[in-house]
Amino acid sequence: MANVVLEFKVSAGDSEPQSRPVLITGQHNNLQQVSWSQIKGKLQPVVSKEIWQAALSALNPNPTDSCPLYLNYATVAAIPSRVSRHNSPSSAHFVSRLVRSCLPGGNNRCIVMVCERSDVFASSCAMARAFPIFSRRSASSLLLIICLSNAADGVRLSARIVDTPCNEMNTDHFLDEIRAVGNELGITPVIIRGEELKQKGFGGIYGVGKAAEHPPALAVLSHTPDGATQTIAWVGKGIVYDTGGLSIKGKTTMPGMKRDCGGAAAILGAFKATIKQGFKDNLHAVFCLAENSVGPTATRPDDIHTLYSGKSVEINNTDAEGRLVLADGVVYASKDLAADIILDMATLTGAQGISTGKYHAAVMTNSEQWEAAVVRAGRNSGDLAHPLVYCPELHFSEFISAVADMKNSVADRENAQSSCAGLFIASHLGFDWPGVWVHVDIASPVHAGERATGFGVALLMALFGQASDDSMLNQVSPLGATTNVSEDHMERDCKRRRLV
């Protein structure tokens, strides 16, 4: 999988299955609309029109089904024609599964995806998820447009970083990944590192990462085009490994914690793909990098840290570290980057999987309109999302401290844990902050079994696609120019003006 190259084309072309094995997939009703003349170039001479029609008749997807057309060289597979309102119309998760299980072997293979135009982006990203890059085992070509190739590259970059263990992806290595993307885009990153973090007041990032061999860092990639009308910041949690700190994880819960950098990895992949497609507004990618390690200088429960917001935090759980680094990151985005819209993405809470499951990210925001937009972007991209409760007046009291402005972990772990974790981040901006704040918890969907999924890349590209120069991203974006609102309302809500 590591050296598979993905190529996208708008037409199937001609190739004989024995020289180029083929998987033909799509919703059953769409497959039935494909004429023999459109598909025969991929199947003849070993598959006849009669065999093709018989295979289509035999398919009975529940939720999926497949039928071999010729030995191990040609297969047709059907995904569900109908899905629930909380799923993507593209059936993206089923696309990934069928590609993994049904794609014939070989070095030069073809997947023919039969879908509606509105599902092209989500289907392409789903296919990319089936081909993770990272591998240390000792010891292909999909055929459509630059946008799809860039999106696929972003998904696979993110997945590779998340799959890579910490001995090969510590904070030094992650910074190298950021520099490499910056170099490709002609952007020099801003990096604040080690003791400089402490001197500048980043008590969250510094406190989490100070015990590790490789120092913590805040890194920023900035795209500032002429004519930009608003400033967007994506803030990613990049905990390259999470032992839990002195509140240490157990032997069954620590394995897999290399994935705790999934939010930062998704933002790096999405930023690279988004800027390559052209982006009209200011866009900053902020990476909060640290290894939550154990050592003589590790943060202790009862320690008090002052974060970049100026607020003091009593540490009652060193394993609730992601919110500390993100609090510094979002405040930096507001104070130093003057962001109008701040989105943070993180593998923040194990409770996310309980709240919204393995396939849907959990979204929380101070804007009801943006909540709906993220959910819609999830359905359009295949990176599904579902809302968490946003109710600071009921939940933020969980963080009350007798000696500091707040604690970093809740008093009652049975009271909306994932929501409370997000509220901790928002509290450092201030609940009356006038801009748009969006929090996306991707703890469960960041991986499927043992492999990373690259989750979040497609979601970000779709959510902010209206500001892209690419027509396909414009199409899948739920955001657009507001209409039918008063001038007074537009002035009050100018920072949310791109919502439908």
Q: Which of 193, 276, 323, 407 is catalytic?
A: 323
Residue holding tokens 């900035």? 222
Q: Are residues 77 and 161 in the same domain?
A: no
Q: Are residues 225 and 113 in the same domain?
A: no
| Domain annotation covers residue 475 | no
DSSP state of 216: P
SS3 364: strand
d(CA 468, CA 487): 26
Residue holding tokens 């500091």? 404
Q: Are residues 124 and 175 in the same domain?
A: no
pLDDT tens, the chain, 500 aa long: 556 788 888 777 788 999 999 999 999 999 999 999 999 999 999 999 999 999 999 999 999 999 999 998 999 999 998 999 999 999 999 999 999 999 988 778 999 999 999 999 999 999 999 988 887 766 533 324 689 999 999 999 999 999 999 999 999 999 999 999 999 999 999 999 999 999 999 999 999 999 999 999 999 999 999 999 999 999 999 999 999 999 999 999 999 999 999 999 999 999 999 999 999 999 999 999 999 999 999 999 999 999 999 999 999 999 999 999 999 999 999 999 999 999 999 999 999 999 999 999 999 999 999 999 999 999 999 999 999 999 999 999 999 999 999 999 999 999 999 999 999 999 999 999 999 999 999 999 999 999 999 999 999 999 999 999 998 999 999 986 333 333 444 343 444 434 33
CA atoms within 13 A on the CB side of 348: 31
| Domain annotation covers residue 390 | yes
The single-letter code of the amino acid at 130 is: A
| Domain annotation covers residue 477 | no
Q: Which of 249, 280, 311, 495 is catalytic?
A: 249
CATH assignment at residue 126: 3.40.50.10590
Q: Are residues 200 and 102 in the same domain?
A: no
249 a catalytic residue: yes
Residues 254 and 231 sit within 8 Å (Cβ to Cβ): no
The strand ranges marked E within 184-314 are 190-193, 217-223, 231-242, 282-292, 304-306, 312-314
Q: Are residues 424 and 441 in the same domain?
A: yes
Phi/psi of residue 195, nearest 5 degrees: -65, -25
Pairing mode of beta strands 361-365, 436-441: antiparallel
Residue 424 tokens, joined: 């901790």
| Domain annotation covers residue 480 | no
d(CA 44, CA 212): 60
Residue holding tokens 């170039």? 41
Residue 422 tokens, joined: 């997000």
Instruction: Using alpha carbons, select from 68, 63, 67 the residue that is nearest to residue 93.
Output: 63
Phi/psi of residue 394, nearest 5 degrees: -100, -30
| Domain annotation covers residue 258 | yes
Q: Are residues 211 and 354 in the same domain?
A: yes
Residues 24 and 39 sit within 8 Å (Cβ to Cβ): yes
Q: Are residues 122 and 160 in the same domain?
A: no
Q: Are residues 139 and 201 in the same domain?
A: no
| Domain annotation covers residue 124 | yes
Q: Are residues 346 and 382 in the same domain?
A: yes
Residues 436 and 366 sit within 8 Å (Cβ to Cβ): yes
Domain that holds residue 23: 17-144+491-499
Q: Are residues 330 and 189 in the same domain?
A: yes
Q: Are residues 215 and 194 in the same domain?
A: yes
Number of domains forming the structure of the chain: 2
Q: Are residues 224 and 123 in the same domain?
A: no
| Domain annotation covers residue 483 | no
CATH assignment at residue 389: 3.40.630.10
Reported as a single tens digit per residue, the pLDDT across 313-355 is: 999 999 999 999 999 999 999 999 999 999 999 999 999 999 9
Residue 475 tokens, joined: 């199409």
